[in-house]
Amino acid sequence: MGTVTKKELIDRITESTGVRRLDVKRVVQEFLDQVTHNLADGNRLEFRDFGVFEVRERASRVAQNPRTLERVTVPPKRTVRFKAGRLMRDTLDGQTARKPKKAAPATTPNHTTHDGQLEIKTRPLEPSRVETA
């Protein structure tokens, strides 16, 4: 068991999808930025079967400095709570075999436009995969 860095994650996604590394890097960074900004705005982020991120308010409290035994007030702060979804819990418990999926190469490659913006081409979902509210 070890630590996987963002760079290593980007390399793994690049290898499994066949998408250019620069494009994967931009998408991963944008995803992380969106998660951070949404949590900072107080939004709850739910990714079905993966988990839920939400902001929790921690009240101020009185603590004790272990060196000087002086009592200090710890100010209130916001923290992020993550609750694992069903699929993640089952996978961590070993109930679901972990098989990394090898994605099919993109049939319509993404590309960067003349102004440096990333243009991502998407395909419509199959009717059986579209979720209705």
> Is residue 59 classed as helix, strand or coil in its secondary structure?
coil
Instruction: Give the model's pLDDT for residue 1.
Output: 75
Among candidates 105, 89, 93, which has minimal Cα distance to 52?
89
**For residue 114, pLDDT beyond 90:** no
Question: Quick one: CATH architecture of 46-96?
Answer: Irregular (4.10)
pLDDT tens digits, 24-58: 999 999 999 999 999 999 999 999 999 999 999 99
Question: Where in the chain are the domains?
Answer: 1-43, 46-96
Same fold, 1-43 and 46-96: yes
pLDDT tens digits, 70-111: 999 999 999 999 999 999 999 999 876 555 555 555 544 555
1-43: CATH superfamily: IHF-like DNA-binding proteins (4.10.520.10)
Instruction: Give the model's pLDDT for residue 29.
Output: 96
For residues 82 and 51, is the Cβ–Cβ distance under 8 A? yes
Instruction: Give the model's pLDDT for residue 111.
Output: 52
| Stretch 4-15: mean pLDDT | 96
Q: Where is 8: in which H helix or E strand?
A: helix 6-17
Residue with tokens 């699929």: 87
**For residue 133, pLDDT beyond 80:** no
Q: How many CB atoms lie within 10 A of CB 131?
A: 6
